[in-house]
A and B are shown apart, each in its own frame.
Chain A
Amino acid sequence: MNAGFRSQVAAVVERDLRRERRRGDVVWVTIPFGAMALFLLPLAIGVDTQLLQRVGPGMYWVVVMLFGVLVSVGRASIETDAQRDAVSLLGLDPAAAYVGRSMSAAGLLLVYEIVVGVVAVVLYNIEVIGIPWLALTLVITAVGLGLLGSLAASLVSSSSAGSALVPLLVAPLSVPLLLGATQVYEGLRLGRSILSWMLLMVVVTLVTAIIGVGTARPLQET
């Protein structure tokens, strides 16, 4: 008898996080590169602190999106055919595999967002306001990007186009998340309502989750 859905999701999350702990891709590659990208902009435009403070939040989210998608897609596409076959024959529900991969990617992305966020606050002197809402934005963005990256990786692995498709697939789909995240910060800074932007991010995340779960089996079997 197969394990239940939740148990299979938990097994996939544990497997992925263990693999990451030993590989160290996020800690030793993605986080330093993300921090470096944030560091380069002040070098390019000079020490105009007001300008840096203005562009800082947007720059932070662009870096989160670009490197975040790479983290998410990378986590989902490091399985060989032999590993995929072995897992299929364990009776792993493809939907559980999708959710588990997305959740482990989301956990790693959250760590990435927090570390790179501290770097952005220090380098760009960004004002940290509305911490509970910002924390919620970080979580939704991490989950949304995790789901999106895993979906893109599933699409790519089931097509002959290979990884060349990833940027074309993910870039337009991540725009609502990027827009929502930047506008939430702007709304908090200017005292405007942020609910519509939060709602946009939640809806995009939910739709991605529904599509990912619904297409998990057909994509695996393609």
Chain B
Amino acid sequence: MSILRGVDLQVGPGEILGLFGANGAGKTTLLRLVATLVRPSAGTGSVLGTDLTSQQRYAIRRRIGMIGHVPGLYPELTLGENLEFAARVAGVSRDEVGGALAAVGLAGVIDREAGVSSHGMQRRAEFARELMIDRDLLLLDEPHSALDHDAVELVNALVEKIAAGGGAVILVSHDRERVARIADRTVELTDGTLE
């Protein structure tokens, strides 16, 4: 079954792209494809200058960040331990963890287990991870969901900061109003086709 058809999309450095679409339109599949987590069954594409079908796509993963709508933290580990693990695997100094969590307003809950932290806190911790690793491309799936007003403002500020640093951001959302405020451009995905 083909989920995406005839998708032609270019996102440049420092650009924030808003991607809209109904449930089942293929938004998450498109994000996973751009993240190199799914290999396209047909067609061509490149991310950060690397062919999506080549073996070299594994090497660029470290430069791509993704925050999905389900948190990817380990619930048994504290927020700090989750980031420490990410730092060690990605080759970032552990000293960066405290600063990254402070940047998203989580300095006071570094020792709180992710499993007992609110969805909003987990979201912020994932943003802290992406800030710490310094990605060239950031993919966000419903980044504003379950966040209070302050957290939404914080997320928007972080997205703009990443873009200002030259990183490209693709932002999938149902919330057109919020995304339109920060996106440079928006596109609509309908039944696997971009409009």
Interface of A is mostly: helix
**Is the Cβ of B70 less than 8 Å from the Cβ of A80?**
yes
- Judge if A2 is at the interface, Cβ distance under 8 Å: yes
Mark contacts of A158-188 with chain B using CB atoms, 8 A cut-off: 1 yes-contact digit, 0 otherwise: 0000000000000000000000000000000
Q: A2-B91, A89-B66 are in contact. Are A83 and B72 (CB under 8 A)?
A: yes
Q: How far is the CA of A8 from the CA of B87 in the complex (A)?
A: 10
- Judge if A27 is at the interface, Cβ distance under 8 Å: no
Q: How far is the CA of A87 from the CA of B81 in the complex (A)?
A: 14
Interface size of A by CB at 8 A reads 29
Q: A19-B77, A22-B76, A86-B72 are in contact. Are A7 and B88 (CB under 8 A)?
A: yes
Interface size of B by CB at 8 A reads 29
Which of these, B61, B86, B88, B91, contacts A88 with CB under 8 Å? Answer: B61
Which of these, B39, B62, B74, B90, contacts A83 with CB under 8 Å? Answer: B74
**Is the Cβ of A90 less than 8 Å from the Cβ of B74?**
no
Q: How far is the CA of A86 from the CA of B35 in the complex (A)?
A: 10
Q: A2-B91, A7-B88 are in contact. Are A85 and B32 (CB under 8 A)?
A: yes
Q: How far is the CA of A18 from the CA of B74 in the complex (A)?
A: 10
Residues in B with CB closer than 8 Å to A18 are: 76-77, 81
Q: How far is the CA of A7 from the CA of B32 in the complex (A)?
A: 27
Residues in A with CB closer than 8 Å to B129 are: 86
Closest Cβ neighbor of A217 among chain B residues: B58
Closest Cβ neighbor of A21 among chain B residues: B76
Q: How far is the CA of A221 from the CA of B61 in the complex (A)?
A: 13
Residues in A with CB closer than 8 Å to B65 are: 89
What is the distance, in angstroms, from B130's C-beta to the closest C-beta of chain A? Answer: 9
Q: A14-B85, A85-B72, A89-B61 are in contact. List 10 more A-B contacts (CB 8 A).
A: A7-B88, A8-B88, A19-B77, A22-B76, A23-B76, A86-B86, A86-B129, A87-B72, A88-B61, A89-B35
